[in-house]
Structure 1
Amino acid sequence: MGAIYQKYGLTDESSFERFFKSNYHLALLVALRYVKSEQIADDIVQEVFVALWQKRDELTIRTSLKSYLLNMVRNRSLNYLRDEKQMDEITESAVPAELIDDPNDDFSQEELAVHITKAIDELPAQCKKVFQLAYHERLTYNEIASTLNLSKNTIKTQMGIAYKMIRFKLSAYFLNLFSFSFRRRKK
């Protein structure tokens, strides 16, 4: 086992599998930023994880393993587009220059999306259903009330609970992000 993997606590297949499970969704979001097909993005992410495992004894990682993984996903996605001669489909809005040029990009937008998704998934069942109808289906409170056979006041209450719980879950993320940023600057 490579020393780099021991540094990150990935000493066996089960620990690598935990790393895979905790970072797969974020890696998929990074790939989807470039390639618009979920199947192709999934293939790219799978290839990257396989390559990380197969080359574990040869790698030299100067950043965190997570950043290295996400940079690999970004590079493989761009390579896919180049190989498929689809680079002309990439616009500046799809791939901001700072993402290509900055090797220390921490992919905070995708990570935030993962935290938001997790916060929504952790909502109570009824609250989650109401929230998803409002934001994913773009239904009004009246339409949600009609769909779920509930009163409009119940929908308002459920949305209030959802907002409060999501804000609470995300406040911990932003607090950690803020304290991490502050510690980095202080050094």
Structure 2
Amino acid sequence: MAKIDDKALVSLLHDGFSEGFDSLYWKYHQLIYMNVYKFVKNREESQDILQDVFATLWESRQSIRQEQSVSGWLFVISFNKSVNHVKRKIRHSAAEDKVVSFYHAHRDESDDVHDEHYQILHAAIRELSPQKQKVFTLCKLEGKSYEEAAQLLNISRHTVKEYLSLAMYAVRDAFKSPAQNNITRISFSN
């Protein structure tokens, strides 16, 4: 019986009716969320992935076949998005650790103006927008949590997270820049 219901809902979804989408969301969102949460172990990140799964459902509605198990499709998509999220988080965390440890190791070397890595790091930070500089400084250099930085800057935790992610990519890219030809590079890849 549930398969017939899902087929009808997929048919509505395929035809672009939001009722099909809404019904599938309410039918499966808790199960998908629990599945994602078991893997990601973070409430907000799990909610973000859940929203992304259902956004993908809506965007892919034309390619989903009625005879296909929509629940199976949702679980596969949620699993893949969870795995990709965890991999990205691990890579990002490793890059952050390298940048922060490098910064702390070299920040007291004020007499050594020839330390090119230190200069690249500072140049990369200066290239960030003022708000991203503040987020980077608070979270990575001063060790503040996302919540603390959000309160201090009067922005949302999600915005802090987004700014920090963008700042870390910019800093990492500064070390990969081909313009820095004769400089030993810091490797940010696994």
Q: Same fold (TM over 0.5)?
A: no
Under TM normalisation by the shorter chain, which class is it? 0.3 to 0.5
User: Which structure: larger Rg?
Assistant: 2
| TM-score, normalising length: structure 2 | 0.39
| TM-score, normalising length: structure 1 | 0.40
